[in-house]
Amino acid sequence: MDRSVFITGAGMGLGLSFTKKFLSEGWTVFAGALEPSPALEALRQDHERGLVVTGLDVRSDDSVAAARDAVSGRTESLDMLINNAGINPGKDTPLEELDFRLVSEAIDVNALGPLRVAKAFLPLLESGGFKRIVEVSSEAGSITDCTRTAWFGYCMSKASLNMQGRILQNYLGPRGFTVLMVHPGWMRTNMAGPEATYDPDESAGMLYPRITCPADGIGARYFQYDGKPLNW
């Protein structure tokens, strides 16, 4: 069956790995990227039919609407949205030196961004057969298990993203949607650096069967790359 997905933050890191994985599994991929990266461009040249790249700044209503219009020009429906774009600016800054512009920026990209995209892409997703929204969250969004003493913007934004996913599930579940919050693991990307545990290709590979499985009727779930449930 032909399936299609829109992936945000597809220029590098996990978003690029998801793009490669979904293409290799035969999906049509619509890839939203803040900046067109050489890696994504090379992939597009190899998959002229299966990969459509569009500009996307999740901070901007106009940019999100333009991306939606670009996708609408190519398809009448989408099966899945993966809200992957994210940032972690000024993460280790202690309370005494906190720059609220950076906290606000994290919330704008990591929490409001996915909601902007979900709102704009809802008609396309409603027309799709699979009705799946995947929010790339983090273990850092868990309030129960939080031991950090900084990372204000990132942790607050991911906890907010988790709440958003629960509300979306409550609202869209009766319309056939499943909303999943996933922690991809500590990955060797621009965000986490070379010391991290997983290559993002590994994380995308572990998550793929867990986010493309048929709906189980349980509704909103928050879990990590290996399927282990996380505390909200």
Ligand X SMILES: NC(=O)c1ccc[n+]([C@@H]2O[C@H](COP(=O)([O-])OP(=O)(O)OC[C@H]3O[C@@H](n4cnc5c(N)ncnc54)[C@H](OP(=O)(O)O)[C@@H]3O)[C@@H](O)[C@H]2O)c1
Question: Where on the chain is the footprint of ligand X (CB under 6 A)?
Answer: 8-9, 11-15, 33-35, 37, 56-59, 84-87, 109, 136, 138, 183-184, 186-187, 189-192, 196, 200
Shortest Å distance, C-beta 127 to ligand X: 24
Structure token digits, residue 200: 């993002």
Residue linked to tokens 């720059």: 99
Nearer to ligand X, 125 or 207 (CB): 207
Closest residue to ligand X, Cβ-based? Answer: 13
Nearer to ligand X, 101 or 175 (CB): 101
**What angle do the packed helices 200-211 and 13-24 form, to 10 degrees?**
50
Among 209, 182, 68, 78, which Cα is nearest to 131's? 78
Shortest Å distance, C-beta 77 to ligand X: 23
Shortest Å distance, C-beta 174 to ligand X: 28
Among 114, 84, 113, which Cα is nearest to 9's? 84
Identity of residue 214: P
Nearer to ligand X, 125 or 191 (CB): 191
Strands 4-8 and 221-224: unpaired
Shortest Å distance, C-beta 150 to ligand X: 16
Nearer to ligand X, 143 or 175 (CB): 143
Q: Are 5 and 82 within 8 A, CB to CB? A: yes
DSSP 8-class letter at 215: P
